[in-house]
Each structure stands twice: as C-alpha cells, then as structure tokens.
A and B are shown apart, each in its own frame.
Chain A
Amino acid sequence: MHQTVTVPADVSNMSEAELKKLELKIARKYSGMFPWMIVTWGFANMACWLALWPLVMLNIIPLWLGFILATINMALVYLPTHDAQHDIIARPGQKLRWLNELLGHATSWMLVYPFQVLRITHMDHHKHTNDPELDVDIESHAPGPWSAIWATIRGRQPNAKRNRDYVAALARAGREDLLLVTLAYKLGYIAILSALAWNGYALEAFFLWWLPYNIAYSYIIFFLSWAPHHGKSEGRYKDTRGWRSTLGNIGSMGMQYHVVHHLHPYIPLYQTPAAYREMLPILKARGCELGGRD
C-alpha cells in the first residue's frame, strides 16, 4: 500500500470537503498499482477455455467435464475485460497501455462483443446509472431474483431493449461505426458455431461455448448489474448498494462491494473489499445502503 490513511470511527463532524478529501485519499491508496492478478486471470482463463476444445475433441476429457469448466471460464471472463474497460491495467499514454487493450480484446471476444463496444456502453452505464431512459443496463432491473434471471434471458433476445440501448449509447458516443464491428463479431460467432456443427462438432460447440456463454451471461448480469443496483435510484451515493450474497464474495464476483467501484472505478476489483472496509464510516455518513455489510 502506498500510504497510511487514518479514518476516524465517527465522521459525523466532518465537513463535506473533508469527507470528500478523505474518501479520495482512501481510493488513491487502493489504486495505481499494477493489477497482476486480473491480468493473469484474464489470459489464463482464456487459455484454459481454448484448451478445452482439443481436450474434448480428442476425448482426453469428457464433454460433461468440458461443459462445467467452460461455464466457469465464461463466468470468469467478464471481470478482466471490465478492469481493462476502466483502464485499470494502464491508462492512455502509460507504458503498459498495450497490455490493457490486449487484455480487453483478448477476453471480450469470448462474450461475442468488441471490446470498444463493452467499454463505451459500460462508461455510459456509469454516467447514467439507473436512469430509466439512458442506462444501458436498465433492462436488468427486476423486482426479485427470479424475475432478474428472466430479465437476463429476455435481454439477449433479438428484439431486446438492451440491443437498442447499446445502439443508442454508441450513437451518444459518436461511435456508430462500431455497429458494423459488432455485427462482424455476431456473424463470426454464428459462422464458427455453424462450421463446427456441420463438421460433426455441434454438441461440442453447444456445450463448450453456446450454453456456457448463456449461463454465464445470466450469472454476470445478475451479479454485476441487478444485485448491486436493485431498488436503487440515481445519484452518486444512491445508485449502488452494499449487500450480502449467499454465494459469498468469490461466488458473487466481489460485487458485494460494487458501491466502491461506482464511486471510484479506477480501483482494481480485488482491492474493492479493502477500500470498502476503510471507507465504511464515510459511506455510512453519506447515507449509502450497505445491506448489513457494515
């Protein structure tokens, strides 16, 4: 850690400016380091998933085992991309910027989206969190967990609102050119699945990519989008909540502390729990919903 920050247990007497300064000081303490874990995670996860194909096709491991591993790989693919979207590995102009971009591109294709599209739409989500008109993730809002899972399925239908929201976000960013790239990714995905299927590998394509992707997509949207923003309104300290997951912190991909990410998106994923604990008196003073995580 870079520095020691002393946070008083009672911050009720602190002024707005003092609170802001202290919060920023903590955020800086937990950011700026090279997040080797997320970089290793991203590339190792991709390598594992790619290795499953020959392992299954050559009957070295059974398809059911490949399916389980592929589902885990797919569930783990988004977070490295997410850190790269936020320039956490390296910001523009920094020496390792290429690695940030490489990690983003190397992982996002498994989710059949161009990295730039994920980045632009996600930045738009941060800018307009919970805005019924402008938040690209608004379709994941649902009254309860089961309806949230259903919303994740609805969100990837051909006529889903999410598709139109993504197009609108790209238009707001002046990047409609990426629509063609997105189409190329979708076509490439169908072409690969089709080529495998018509050459006798339909079950492998289904159980190593299509089904894991769809299960993981629901899992990712549920924990990254629905759970942390459930029941929340708009506003810096109001749009995201702390909460307790029955699957624990690893099982919910660290999203119990997502409130810290929305406040300071440059903090690496694995540092958000520590930053959260240190910011706790400030978060309480700000009136954040912490879901018993205080």
Chain B
Amino acid sequence: MQSVAHFIAKILPLLFAFGFLVPLIMQMMLALEITPPFGLSALVFALLVGGSWGLFAQIKGRWI
C-alpha cells in the first residue's frame, strides 16, 4: 500500500499534465481559435505541449 501511494505521489505532475493540462490546452486553442502548426490536430498538439511540460515537471521537480 505504501509503495503504491509513494509511486502515485511521485507521478502527480504527469497525472496533472495528462489529466488536466492536455484538455485545457486543447480547449484554450479552440476558444482562441488558434490553429495548431504543421497540420497537427488540437489533441496531438496539446498532448505534445502538455505532455512535454508534464515530463519536464516530473523530471525537474518544478513547472517553471
């Protein structure tokens, strides 16, 4: 139980990124009528940006 909790606590940045950040980026783009570059869909773009940011936070231990 403790090791599961420890693992979950460690991956909170990734959970936040894929759970919240990705759909947030996607919906912000739609609201601001921003077209993703390179012909990417909004979801793929959001996954790339949100996922990378989450990975950065996961590895570095900070979002900024």
Interface residues of A (CB under 8 A from B): 153-154, 157-159, 179-180, 183, 186-187, 190-191, 193-194, 197-198, 200, 202-203, 205-206, 210
Contact = CB atoms under 8 A, between A and B. Distances in A.
Contacts of B58: 158
Contacts of B16: 190, 193
Contacts of A210: 20
Nearest to B16: A190
Among B9, B26, B63, chain A packs the most CB atoms within 10 A around the CB of B9
Given A190-B12, A202-B26, A202-B27, A158 B62 contact: yes
B8 A183 contact: yes
8 contacts: A157-B57, A157-B63, A159-B61, A193-B19, A197-B19, A202-B23, A205-B20, A206-B24
Contact of B20 (A158, A159, A202): A202
Nearest to B61: A159
Interface of B: 5, 8-9, 12-13, 15-16, 19-20, 23-24, 26-28, 31, 57-58, 60-64
A41 to B, nearest CB: 30
Main secondary structure of the interface of B (DSSP, over half): helix
Contacts of A200: 27
Contact of B13 (A158, A194, A206): A158
B31 to A, nearest CB: 6
Given A190-B15, A190-B20, A205-B20, A197 B62 contact: no
Contacts, number: 62
Contacts of B61: 157-159
Nearest to A180: B5
B24 A202 contact: yes
A259 B61 CA distance: 35
Contact of B62 (A159, A180, A193, A205): A159
B43 to A, nearest CB: 11
Contacts of A191: 19
Contact of A153 (B13, B60, B64): B64
Q: Which 6 residue pairs spanning A and B have beta carbons closest together?
A: A159-B61, A194-B19, A197-B23, A157-B62, A202-B24, A202-B27
A37 B31 CA distance: 41
Given A157-B63, A191-B19, A206-B24, 7 more contacts: A183-B9, A187-B8, A190-B20, A197-B24, A198-B23, A202-B20, A202-B27
B25 to A, nearest CB: 8
Given A197-B19, A197-B27, A186 B62 contact: no
Contacts of B63: 157-158
A193 B15 CA distance: 11
A205 B12 CA distance: 18
Contacts of A187: 8, 12, 15
B27 A203 contact: yes
A197 B20 contact: yes
